[in-house]
Amino acid sequence: MLLGTIDGRITTSKFSFVAKEEPKNFEYVQVYHPVYDFVLCQIIEVTKTEGKTMAACQVIGYKEQERVKRPRIPFEPGSEVFRAEDDFVARVIALPSASDGRSPHAVLGHLDGRTLPVALDLNAMMTKHVAVLAKSGAGKSYTVGVLLEEIAERGVPLVIVDPHGEYGRLAEPNPDEADRERMAAYGVEPKAYPVAEYGDDRFVPGVRPLRISTRLSAAELAHLLPGKLSANQQAVLYAALKNLDDVTFDSLLYELEAEESPAKYNIISTVDYLRSLPFFSAAPTPYNELVKPGQATVINLKGVSPDVQEIIIYKLCKDLFLLRKQNKVSPFFLVIEEAHNYCPERSFGETKASKVLRDIASEGRKFGLGLCVVSQRPARVDKSVLSQCSTQVILKVTNPNDLRAIGQSVEGITAEAEQEIQNLPVGTALITGATDVPLFVVVRPRRTAHGGHAVDMLKGDAPVADDGLLEQASSFQSQELLPLIKPSVTPRDLEVMSEQPLSRVDTVLIPAYQLRCREGEQRYHLLVEREHGAIVTDKESFETKRLPELHKLSPRELSLLQSVFSGKASTVQSLAAAVGGSVAIDDELRPLLEQGYVFRDGDALRVDEGFVFTRLSKAATYASIEYEQLAYQEKRPARLSIDDLKERFSRFTTVEDYHDCFVVLYEPVAAGGGSP
């Protein structure tokens, strides 16, 4: 399509043309040159005056021997400017396909304004590091998720430092129907990837406990101590350390106690603080569990204080980098979210993790350790780390300091592109370094579920009719922000699975507590509904188990119950033999039968599986609480307080903490009324 003709001043790098058709900013155009054939250019600014539209362009170049070269001779005045053809754009700016037979490529999206897929060289991205920069809410974590999916497709191990708990949903396929329709254009479909999520289960139910070794070198221990030590304190510390062959918190405290200097007491208190952190353990998490081919390991630091996060990241990254140098773990890709908190620009201070992350940025590529730094504050990220990232993925940024930092650290970005960054729509990124010229890319839909949605505190979850097949009741209530534990099955799923037509699906909220319990060294969560105090063992079907009131049974009755439960007695006769052959066994059984602990079928005996007779940890739940608004028909009353439940459960476990929540129950109503 002819867009116009060149007019005015022409250089080898820029020109303007009078537009005959409506031009668009950053649109690709091609112009014929008598020496170099067609040359690719890009519109960088459109201006209008009365009766005239002018478009300023920058010259990108032409392809020669696999390199993009800029003409040394300007275009002729009056040369025609055409909208660039897709094949020509792809050839000049080197857009390979994901299956072109060369090195692996990651399909991140399509060129803005075109249907051309943008596939980037994964080897180059992972070995030369990546920076993803954007303001909050611009689609940063979503874009990182797309990149991680492409890496996970190749089985490369991933280690993701996740301070907000967003990346665990890589283990879930994308449930969004609108996204599924858009996926077809990229040849992708919903998919889940193997994820191992580690963290502190006091804050994130269901994560594997992350444990770091208490065996530290003298340098590590000195580095980890909070605050700066005075000269006297340093002398006391190193005097204690020199006597230790095996440095642990306990051995160091023993040596410090033997020191005579009063300077020891501050050191003892700080060492004791480190020892008290739940992440340090004599039985640490094996690093070969964290770095596994085909696995994404998420270090979920949600709820962990910033100073402890620094300690974890320092020790974790330092050890993994050393093991990678020694070839004791597989090559892997390390992602640091909120990187400005862990490797800040030096004018903002140092963290305990700063130096090791600078070392990984400068040397990691030599040892097969790729790095991706993600930040919403580019100006606060260590410039030496940013400068080592050869590929930059930049989404919308508006802060002047951050824009200035991007302009100073990103190679090949023009002033016009820097200005355009402020106007990028959510989900559109400027990618530099991975291709010959900077590209504006619309990020493709994710295969996996997105875990970075902001909580909408104002907008309610209004009922939506679905082609009239599932008419929701008019009695829905718009409620406040609620702590919810929801089933994975949706009302729409219930409609599809139902064997008969449904008139509606009622949403019922059941009040509950999520209890954090401890049995010895084991910690786990129980979900307990507040109507009857039953333990919810399956949130999908709302299956529950009751807690037996064993303290109300006599020793003889407990003995009878134990015999039946253990399988030693499955009949009345074998029970009589097991407990001493009492002739009054029927009378002794009556209380157990009346309370429902034991069922009798003729002479056969069995315990009621609706009770929890074993360790409560076997009824543990891994459901997470999500805060959102939800429209519902019924909210059942809460009859039991936390004090009631603590008293009831104290005979079986130690309740350390609790959270109020509601369990969401969907109740299908068949057409014409009643249950389906």
Task: Indicate whether 100 pLDDT > 70.
Answer: no
pLDDT per position as a tens digit, 267-276: 888 888 888 8
Mean of the per-residue pLDDT values of the chain: 84
3-state secondary structure of 329: coil
| DSSP secondary structure, 361-373, as one string | HHHGGGGTEEEEE
Average pLDDT value for residue range 176-181? 86
Average pLDDT value for residue range 232-247? 81
Task: Indicate whether 173 pLDDT > 50.
Answer: yes
Average pLDDT value for residue range 423-435? 86
As a whole number of angstroms, the distance between CA 116 and CA 119 comes to 9
Q: What ranges in 202-305 are assigned the alpha helix state H? A: 218-224, 231-241, 249-258, 264-276, 287-290
pLDDT per position as a tens digit, 584-641: 677 777 777 777 777 777 777 777 777 877 778 888 887 778 878 788 889 999 999 8
pLDDT per position as a tens digit, 526-567: 999 999 899 998 888 888 888 887 767 777 777 777 777 666
Provide Rg for the chain, Cα atoms. 32
pLDDT per position as a tens digit, 299-348: 999 988 888 999 999 999 999 999 999 988 999 999 999 999 999 998 88
> Structure tokens of 149?
């999916």
3-state secondary structure of 514: strand
pLDDT at 476: 39
Task: Indicate whether 103 pLDDT > 60.
Answer: no
The enclosing H or E element of 463 equals none
The enclosing H or E element of 114 equals none
Among 122, 107, 116, 114, CA closest to 187:
107
> Structure tokens of 507?
């949403």
Among 214, 132, 200, CA closest to 163:
200
Percent of the chain whose predicted confidence (pLDDT) is above 70: 90
pLDDT band at 168 (very low <50, low <70, confident <90, very high): very high
Task: Indicate whether 424 pLDDT > 80.
Answer: yes
pLDDT at 461: 44
Average pLDDT value for residue range 386-390? 89
